[in-house]
Amino acid sequence: MSDDPFFEFLKTEYEKAADRYNSIYQSIWTIFSYMSAVTAAFLAFGGEHIAPWAMASFAPIPLVFWFWSTYLPLDRYGNKTLGVLRDIEKRANEKYSTALNHYSKFARDKHGLLADFFEKVKKGCLVCATWDMVSRARFAIVFAFVALHLFLALAVYRWSSDGFTFFKKDEVQQPVYRLQIESSPAGVGLVPGGGNNQGQVAPNRSQNGQ
């Protein structure tokens, strides 16, 4: 243990902030795996009975719920924790001449994708700004979920065009034939289902010339 209390303070805060940062994103992706499992189960077991556009409207809901209720708030909290880690590294480097930069490489003063993009464009590097934006996991997640929201809106619209029918319509039933034998010597013949004679068999009188 060091005799410098400020060093011990920075060390303790750095370790706690690092553990908190890791726990935040482990929680994000653990909950995402649960929501993905719910979506997969809905698609696997509901496909035989649920109408296609109803399925498309309900299947993305767990993932959309995860995006708004878990990813956005926890990612914002993670960014703030990342800023704390960057500040601790900066203070340690200034006071003890260390070279800590593990979290400083990822931390930014402005956490918005577009804010970072326009800031780098102002510095005259459009290609660098574009690559820096699209290479981040946050960009891929936001892009994927914007597309998912658009698909969900389309699915609900098409489902409304179908009258919000949740279950698939019954398939057209094939005609059912029943054999009815009369006591006369006349033969029997099958009559297709339909009308008043559906499901019955009429005598075949052509053999007796009748």
CA angle in degrees (0–180, nearest 5) for 106-112-116: 70
DSSP sequence for 137-185:
HHHHHHHHHHHHHHHHHHHHHHHHHTTS--BPPPPPPPP-------SSS
Least confident stretch, 3-12, 26-35, 63-72 = 3-12
| CB atoms inside a 10 Å sphere around CB 123 | 9
Stretch 45-61: mean pLDDT: 90
Residue 170 pLDDT greater than 90, yes or no: no
Stretch 133-145: mean pLDDT: 77
Q: What is the pTM of this model?
A: 0.68
Stretch 73-80: mean pLDDT: 91
How far apart are the C-alpha atoms of 46 and 40, rounded to whole Å?
10
Q: How confident is the model at residue 116 (pLDDT cuts 50, 70, 90)?
A: low
Task: Name the percent of the chain lying above pLDDT 70.
Answer: 65
pLDDT in tens, 90-105: 999 998 888 888 888 7
Residue 106 pLDDT greater than 60, yes or no: yes
Q: What is the amino acid identity at position 176?
A: V
DSSP sequence for 96-135:
H-----TTTTT--S---HHHHHHHHHHTT-HHHHHHHHHT
Task: Name the percent of the chain lying above pLDDT 90.
Answer: 43
Residue 22 pLDDT greater than 60, yes or no: yes
Q: How confident is the model at residue 178 (pLDDT cuts 50, 70, 90)?
A: low
Residue 209 pLDDT greater than 50, yes or no: no
Task: State the pLDDT at residue 210.
Answer: 47
Residue 196 pLDDT greater than 70, yes or no: no
Residue 204 pLDDT greater than 70, yes or no: no
How far apart are the C-alpha atoms of 203 and 69, rounded to whole Å?
70
Residue 208 pLDDT greater than 90, yes or no: no
- Bin 97: left if φ > 0, else alpha if -120 < ψ < 50, else beta: left
